[in-house]
Every structure is written in structure tokens, then in C-alpha cells.
Structure 1
């Protein structure tokens, strides 16, 4: 399920709801093949405490509806699944995914530093403080041909300004203006897939860091 969703998300940045419906049905059917149905239902119910959390995050626009549905269906298909002895929680896949997403921050910074070392005027047309320029270097980059990215700049008079406001993943249009500062529209399901694989093989990274 996650592999198919990741491929579709990378190509189109939109995953059809039918995928979640099909695997949601599979999750329900699998319950009837469990040796202990009551224990299985209890485990799924506990894992589903994730659902209101991710739905709330989706409503605020931090990620798309498909990302929320993937985590909810996954909680039904493989609640607290792991092959390791490390502790996992209903939030482990999500927390692992978010941890890997933070790698995008240094990647943006390195990209911008290399652009500046190549004598590119990445702040051309901007009238901003050094502090805001530094923030922009962590969260975005100046793209020559944006694709599946959100603009983080706006015009203010004759100068450009950075706009760090939240972009709703489901409603904000992607930027297609060349030579624009953008923040990547991250295919979060790909990171969720990685987070789940890490959960299976290792457990919860954050809990392990803190010694649980």
C-alpha cells in the first residue's frame, strides 16, 4: 500500500481515495483471520488514537488528506507492528517520518550555499534583513523551474519580500513561476513509508534516543 502510494505521490502529488478504501477493507477482513479477535480489535483501537491527531494536523494544512488517511489505514493494517524489541507507539511511524523530513533543512542550506559560491545572486530583487534571508536559506531555495513547490515570496512595492506563512497542502496551488524562491511540496507518504520500515526494523527512533 505504502509503496504504491509513494510512487503515485511522487509522480502526481495526489493519491486517489480508492487506494485507502481498498486497503481499509483489507484491514477489516484481516481481523476475521486473527487467532484472538478481541486482542486484535483492542490493539487496533489503541493504535487509532493516532486518527484524531493526524486529522487535526491535516485540517491545519500541515500535510494533505492522503497523508492522514495513509497513517489511519496503516494503524488498522499493522497496529504497533515491529520486528525489533525497541518500544513502538501509535505515533512511531509518524515521528520517524518527521525525523527524516528534517533532513530537508540542511539539504536546502547546502543547496543555497553552493549557489552563492557559484556567484548566483539568489536574493536578487529582495529587500530583507540578513536574519530573514538566513531563515529562507533553511526552508527554501531559488528555483529556476519550480515543480511541485510552494512560493515563499511576494511583491511589496518594487521589492520582493519573503512570505513564511503556512501553505495548505490540499488547497495551495503549486508555483510555476521561474526564478522564484520556493519551499518543496514534500511527498510525505514517501517519508511515512521510510518511517514505517524503520519502525519494523528498529522501532521508534526518538524513544530510543531518550533511552526508552
Structure 2
């Protein structure tokens, strides 16, 4: 096996170990009570190694933002003939939600999402980072949607459509995480609720898109 492949695999294992250690500590001790030194020690690496992977502690709660945006943009770029803007947008958002990347498998992604929602309510740095990440994501997706349908959506209309859909999903999932009184112990149940809630919120949009396509 080439040395470069071995290095990449080692980096992925270390990154995964840091994320797992952080999630476990955040769940048991609390986010603010956990330090970077604690996380590095639990992952059996030094703090210098930690900062090779994450610039700050709050970055651990946003590990896949760029990759999800790329998945959404790729879905928009590969739009099919006859698809309406809403259909393309929803497919892009589903692609982003269903492709958390190679770094996060099993229920770790949902545990991070639950922690992010919980911590955002009490830690301004995380709340600000979450708001900024969502804004950047919405802007990029709206930009791509406008480029895909320039005759139907100007920049304002594209931004409004993306904001409406993303806001609806985000609002619903915030309530789901707030109702998760048992923390994230039942990862499978939380994952089902996330997917079911998202599907329910998006159902009217999908129905409207199908109606437009048929008319």
C-alpha cells in the first residue's frame, strides 16, 4: 500500500478518535467543562496534534459543513431535465443530509447534531458559529440554485426559497433535539426521529413541486 494511503488512513483514524472522545466527554461532563487537553488525552494524542485537525473546540461540533455544501451543490449541478427549482433544492438538501462523509459513520453524526443544538442554546461562541455556518451554507446553495435557474429565480427569489426550506427544517429539528430528554443515549431512535421529521417537513414542498411538474 502506498505511503500516502497509509498516512491518509492514519489521519482519518486520529480525526475519528478526536471526534469520538469529544462527543463522549461532552455528553458525560458537559461542553464547557471539557477542555482541549481533556479531549486530546482521551484520544491518546497531544494537544499539538489536536490543533492539527481542529482550530478550536467548537469546530468539533461542525465537522462536515464544507462536505455537505459540496454534496448539495453537486446535486443541484446534476439537475435532471424538467426538474423544478424546488425539486432540485430538496434533492440537494437530501444529498447534503444523507452524505455526512467518510469521517462520520454509525450514529456519531446524529450525536454531534444533538449536542450542537443543545450547546448552541447556552454557549454564545457555538451559537454564533452555528448561525454563521447556516448563513454561509444558504448563500452558497442559493447562488447555485440561481445559476441553475436564471430565468426563473433571481438572486432574491433563490435566497428566499432556500431560506424558507432550510428554516422550516432547522426549526423542526430544534424542537426534536429539545425533546430529546434522554440525551443521546438512544442514537438509533434519535436518528429515526431526525429523518422522519425532515421527511414530514419537506413533504408539502415535494407535493407542490410534483404538482408544478405535472401542470
TM-score w.r.t. length of structure 1: 0.26
Rg larger in 1 or in 2?
A: 1
When normalised by structure 2's length, the TM-score is 0.26
Structure with larger RCO (C-alpha < 8 A, sep 6+): 1
| Bigger proportion of residues as strand | 1
